[in-house]
């Protein structure tokens, strides 16, 4: 259940109630798959489901980390900007 708003009585309004649950599921289906990219140095990078819409390069996720850990001796994860 995804809460998308609250009504005047402070009750949660869900995506299903406003008819958006199906569309949200379709969008998220592909977002669950990591993208295999290549860095400027030619190194493979798995980028997956960044939390901020205004950051174009994306972010690593646990899914990408688990896939990447199986494919090499080292795994480096970018942990944010702070």
The set of residues, in sequence order, having a beta carbon less than 8 Å from that of 10 and lying 6+ positions away, is: none
Q: What are 61's two structure tokens?
A: 């996720």
CB 68 within 8 Å of CB 47: no
Question: Which residues pair with residue 1 across a beta bridge?
Answer: none
The model's pLDDT over 28-70, given as tens digits with 9 standing for 90+, comes to 777 667 678 888 999 887 776 555 555 555 556 677 788 888 8
Q: How confident is the model over 15-29, as pLDDT tens digits?
A: 999 999 998 888 777
Q: Which residues contact 57 (CB under 8 A, 6 or more apart)?
A: 47, 50
CB 36 within 8 A of CB 26: no
pTM above 0.75, yes or no: no
């Amino acid at each position: 259940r995804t809460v998308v708003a609250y009504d005047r009585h402070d009750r949660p309004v869900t995506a299903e109630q406003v008819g958006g649950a199906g569309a949200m599921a379709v969008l998220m289906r592909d977002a669950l798959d990591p993208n295999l990219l290549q860095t400027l140095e030619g190194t493979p990078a798995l980028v997956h489901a960044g939390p901020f819409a205004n950051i174009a390069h994306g972010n690593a996720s646990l899914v990408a980390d688990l896939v990447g850990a199986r494919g090499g001796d080292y795994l480096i994860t970018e942990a944010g900007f702070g």
